[in-house]
Amino acid sequence: MFKIIGKENLASNIRLLKIYAPQIAKKAKPGQFVVLMPDENSERIPLTLADWDREESTITLIFQEVGFTTKKLAKLSIGDCISHILGPLGKPTEIKFFGRIILIGGGVGIAEILPLIKAFKEKNNYILTILGARTKELLILEEKIRKFSDEFYITTDDGSYGRKGFVTDILKEKLYQDKDFQLVYAIGPVLMMKEISKITNPFGIKTLVSLNPIMVDATGMCGSCRIKVRERTLFACVDGPEFDADEVDFDELQKRLSLFKDEEKLINSYGA
Amino acid sequence: MGRKEPKKRNPQDRLNNFLEVSLGFTDEEAKEEATRCLNCKNPACVKGCPVNIDIPEFIQLIKEGKRKEALLKIKEKNTLPAICGRVCPQEEQCEKLCILAKNNQPINIGALERYAADYELLFGSLDSKKKDTSPVKVAVVGSGPAGLSCAGELAKMGYMVVIFESLHKAGGVLTYGIPEFRLPKRIVEHEIDYIKSLGVEIRLDTLIGLTYTINDLFNEDFKAIFVATGAGLPQFLGIEGENINRVYSANEFLTRINLMQAHKFPQYNTPISLGKTVAVIGGGNVALDCARVAKRLGKEVILIYRRTEKEMPARIEEIKNAKEENIQFLFLTQPVRILADEESKVKAIECIKMRLGPLDDTGRQKPIPIEGSNFIINVDTVIVAIGQNPNPLIPRLTPELKTNPDGTIIVDENLATSIKGVFAGGDIVTGSDTVISAMGAGKRAAYFIDRYIKNEH
C-alpha cells in the first residue's frame, strides 16, 4: 500500500498526488513511469513520474481525469492509500549536455517536462520551452517550468493566455529564425507530437517523444503497448516510453489508444 | 480392468462459467484406480517424474485409504502437488513410463496425485513445519512455479527467503496464464499460502532490475539470488495488420481475464474488447486455453494451426476438452495478413493452406505454404498464441549476466549463472517448458544454493 501524503488540484480536471514510495523515489530517473492500481478491482494504468524526493521518500504524479481509473484516483485524499504501484519503469532519458534544447509540453504532458527540464538544466543546456494548453485554466506548472527555461513561450488554443494557437506555431517560427538546436523533446497529445515531428524532420534535429499507450503489466509481458517504430514492433513499456519521433507510427498509436472507447463509455455510465 | 478417468463437467455446463472441468476422483474411484498399480520393483514412473515423487508408495497409501499419508509422501518431493496433479503432462512423463502404458492403460497418476493433494482443500492444511530460520537471506525473483518451489525448499532448509514479484498477485503463470477451469485460483492461493506458512515473504509490486537491481539485493545482504522470471515475452507472427485493434497476444488476453478479471467488467475495471468470432493462432496448451476462455465468454472460436492435430504440442486431454466445447479447428493453415474495418478493428484474417514436408529439427514435419491457396475468414478478434520468449528485463539491465542468443540465461550444471551467487532456473533458462520442469529446476536450485552458501560462508 502506498500512502498519499499530498494532493493539489492544478486545474479543473488535473490533479497532483504526492505519494510515500521510498524505493521508487530512490531509483527514479527522468523519463520513467509507474503503473498503478488505485484499488484491488482497478485496471493497471501507466503514469509518468512528474517528480520525486529521495529525502522525503515521495513520488509525485500529475494526471488528468480522463477515464474511469484516473477519476477513481482523483477521489482519493491525503491519508488514503493506493493499493499497488510498480516502478520505476521504462528506459530513463539520456541526460547530458546537448547544447540548445527545445522542450515542448502539451496539456497534462507538461507534467512530464518537469523532471526533464530540471535534469537538462543541471547539465547546463540552453532551454527553450514551449507549453501549450487548450485554455488558460488548464495550463499547469507554469512558474515551476519557467524558472528553468532560458526562453519561455505559452500558447492556448483559444487565446485566453499567451499566444493564441498551437505549440507548433512557435516551434516553426523559432526554427526558421534559428535552427541551431541539438534536441527537441515533446510530450503531449499524439497529434501534437506527430505535427512536431513533421516540423523538425526537414531540419534534421533529433526529436524525442514520450509515448503513453495502453499497458497492463508494463514489464514486457503482454504486448498491449506495442508501437510501430521504423516498421518494427516495439513495446513502449520496456523499449520506451521514449522514442525517436521520426520513426514512430503516430497514426497507428492513435488508433490503438481508441481500442476501449466503447468500454470506457460503459464504465463511466456505471459510475465512478 | 481399464484405466479410470475422473468425471468431467458436461460440455454444455462449461460454457458460461469458469468452473473446473475435471471433477477429480471420488474416494471409491481413487481406490479402484490405485488398486491397478502393480507396485513394480523398479518403478519406471518415478524416473519419468522431474521431481522423482515416490509414485508407487503414494498410490499404495491411497489404496489403503490413507489419503493424508499419501499427500505427505508426495510432499516429501513436490511442494505444489495440487497444481501438478492438474497441469503436469503426465502422459509424457510418469504415465508414459508406466508398465501398463504398453497396453495403453497406464495408471492415472495425475488424477491420483490431485486426489491426494485435494485432501488439504477439503480438510484443511496439514501442519507445515516452519523451521527456526537462520539469518541467512536468499532472494527469489519471480513467484511462478520455479520461484515458489525454490523458495519453499530453501525455507524448509531454514533460510530466510524473500520472493520478489512484479505483478500485484503472486503465482506467475499459474495466476495470470492458466485459466480457472483448468487450475482454480483457490488452489494456487492455497499453495502460495502454504509457501508463506513456511516463513517465505512475498514482496509484490517489485520489479527486479528496476525497483531493485541484482546488486541492490546483494547490498541488502541477500547471500544468493535465484532468477526465475520465466518466458514472458510474447511472440507475434510478424504479419501485416498485427497491431490492428483486437489483435491480442495470448499473454495479454489471458492476463486481462485471469489476473484482471476483465470478463467481470465493469465491476472489475479492466476492459477487454472482443467481437463475436475469435481466431486463435497456435497449437499449444496456451492456444487452447485462449480458445476455451473465449468460448466461455460466448464467442465463436476458430483455432488456426499450421500443422495437423497430430503435431499439436497441446495435451491430448485438453484438445479433447476443446472439441467437446465446440471449438472449431482449422489445421494446415497459416495466417498471412489481418484486415481492419473502418474503425481499425479486426474484420478478417487472410490465411494460406499448408502441406507437411520433410522433418524439421523438432522432429515434426515442416509445414510448407501451398502457393495460391490464400483464403479469407471473417473474424473480429485475433489472439496470437505461438509461444513466448524469455523475459529480457533482468538480462538487459544486468549486463554481467550472460545469456544465449535466444535470450535464455546461461547456467552451469549447478544452475549458477555468470554472476557469483546468482542462480537461474525454469523457463528463463530452458525457454517455454512445463510447470513441473520449472518446479524441478526450482528445487534443484535450492539444493545448489544451499551448497553454495555453506561453502562460501
- Report d(CA B130, CA A73) in Å as an integer: 40
pLDDT at B447 over 60: yes
Q: Which of A85, A238, A260 has its CB closest to that of B393?
A: A238
Q: Among B239, B270, B394, which would you mutate to test the A interface (most chain A Cβ atoms within 10 Å of its Cβ)?
A: B270
**CATH 3.50.50.60 corresponds to the domain B137-232+390-456:** yes
CB contact under 8 A, A233 and B252: no
Please tell me which residue of chain B has the smallest CA distance to A267: B266
pLDDT tier for residue B427 given thresholds of 50, 70 and 90: very high
Radius of gyration of chain A from its Cα atoms, rounded to whole angstroms = 18
| Structure confidence by residue, pLDDT tens digits, B4-35 | 999 999 998 898 889 999 999 999 999 999 99
CB contact under 8 A, B168 and A84: yes
Query: What number is the average pLDDT over the span B247-268?
Result: 95
Domain borders along chain B are: 11-123, 137-232+390-456, 234-388
The CATH class given to the B11-123 domain equals: mainly alpha
Phi and psi of A123, rounded to 5°? -90, 15
Query: What number is the average pLDDT over the span B340-359?
Result: 95
| Structure confidence by residue, pLDDT tens digits, B393-407 | 888 889 999 999 989
Q: What is the pLDDT of residue A272?
A: 45
Decide if B11-123 and B137-232+390-456 have a common fold. no
pLDDT tier for residue B127 given thresholds of 50, 70 and 90: low
Residues from chain B contacting residue A87 (CB–CB below 8 Å): 207, 210-211
Residues from chain B contacting residue A248 (CB–CB below 8 Å): none
Q: What is the pLDDT of residue B89?
A: 87
CB contact under 8 A, A43 and B207: no
Which residue stretches of chain A have pLDDT < 70? 271-272
pLDDT at B115 over 90: yes
Q: Number of A:B CB contacts under 8 A?
A: 122
Query: What number is the average pLDDT over the span B223-245?
Result: 94
Q: Which of A85, A252, A262 has its CB closest to that of B205?
A: A85
Residues from chain B contacting residue A239 (CB–CB below 8 Å): none
Residues from chain A contacting residue B167 (CB–CB below 8 Å): 86, 217, 219
CB contact under 8 A, A216 and B204: no
CB contact under 8 A, A217 and B255: yes
Please tell me which residue of chain B has the smallest CA distance to A235: B233
Residues from chain B contacting residue A224 (CB–CB below 8 Å): 248, 252
pTM exceeding the 0.90 threshold for the entire prediction: yes
Q: What is the pLDDT of residue B180?
A: 94
Q: Under DSSP, is residue A201 helix (H, G, I), strand (E, B) or coil?
A: helix
With an 8 Å Cβ cutoff, is B236 touching chain A?
yes
- Closest approach of chain B CAs to the CA of A85, in angstroms? 6
CB contact under 8 A, B393 and A69: no
- Closest approach of chain A CAs to the CA of B271, in angstroms? 6
With an 8 Å Cβ cutoff, is B143 touching chain A?
no
User: Which of the following CATH numbers is that of domain B234-388: 3.50.50.60, 1.10.10.10, 3.30.565.10, 1.10.3720.10?
Assistant: 3.50.50.60
pLDDT tier for residue B432 given thresholds of 50, 70 and 90: confident
What average pLDDT does chain B have? 93
pLDDT tier for residue B130 given thresholds of 50, 70 and 90: low
Q: What is the pLDDT of residue A205?
A: 95
pLDDT tier for residue B185 given thresholds of 50, 70 and 90: very high
- Closest approach of chain A CAs to the CA of B311, in angstroms? 26
Based on the number of CB atoms within 10 Å of its own CB, is A13 exposed (0-12), middle (13-18) or buried (19 or more)?
A: middle
